[in-house]
Amino acid sequence: MRLCVFCGSSAGSNPVYMEQASQLGEALAKAGIGLVYGGASVGLMGAVADAALANGGEVIGVIPQALKQKEIAHPGLQDLRVVKSMHERKALMAELSDGFIAMPGGVGTLEELFEVWTWAQLGYHDKPCALFNVHGFYDGLSAFLSHVVDQAFLRDEHRSMVIVKNSVEDLLAAIQNYEPPKVVKWIKKDQQT
């Protein structure tokens, strides 16, 4: 099994983000779960990869050529895949992974999570998507997603596709026990108005 971790190339403002990235990388390696990530050596990306590598884990980095210098590609990876575009990066990361975790990060992290979640909603895959809610980072987003459900732009079944957990242990357990919802059709013709 491999899990893709989307996260910031920055360390963020709170040291707990780096600590939890390291804890996640270590836990993945010790559980025999491979890591797929954006290939950088800095920020949360570097921390999760370093911890997985230090504990003998499989780590695959995927980075676009244009970002290889900007994001400082990880020199310690035995498997660094350099692609031409962000589209290729995301497609390859999705192909290599059995599930997805978003740690704290910026718009790139959010965009990556929302894309794979959209693919799951449309039935392109049935892999789990999760938010690692480190130090309440995703509390606001979780509340907003509930608001989207309340406003009838998102179904409960699709909202429940996104696992939200505050600890590494709970996160990995929920991912390993994930069962995708059985949704035949996500919108009915009479609900278009």
Cα-based distances in Å from 191 to 1, 54, 126, 152, 158: 39, 52, 25, 10, 16
Domain ranges of the chain: 2-176
pLDDT beyond 60 at 33? yes
Domain 2-176 of CATH type 3.40.50.12160: no
Q: Residue 16: helix, strand or coil by DSSP? A: helix
Asked if the model's pLDDT at residue 79 lies above 90, the reply is yes
At 193 the pLDDT is 40
DSSP β-bridge partners for residue 6: 102
What sign for the dihedral angle of Cα 91, 97, 100, 102? negative
pLDDT tens sequence across 122-177: 888 999 999 999 999 999 999 999 999 999 998 888 888 899 999 999 999 999 99
Would you state the pLDDT for residue 101?
Answer: 98
Average pLDDT, the chain: 92
Q: For 9-23, 28-42, 74-88, 179-193, which range has the lowest pLDDT when averaged over its residues?
A: 179-193
Q: What is the pLDDT of residue 66?
A: 86
DSSP result, 27-83: HHHHTT-EEEE--BSSHHHHHHHHHHHHTT--EEEEEEGGGTTTTTB-TT-SEEEEE
Q: Is pLDDT of 109 > 50?
A: yes
pLDDT band at 190 (very low <50, low <70, confident <90, very high): low
- The percent of residues in the chain predicted with pLDDT above 90, rounded, is 81
* pLDDT at residue 96, rounded to an integer: 97
State yes or no: pLDDT of 183 exceeds 70: no
Q: Does the pLDDT value for residue 69 go beyond 80?
A: no
pLDDT at 191 over 70: no
The pLDDT score that the predictor gives to residue 160 is 86
- Mean pLDDT for the stretch of residues 85-100: 95
Check residue 167 and report its DSSP letter: S
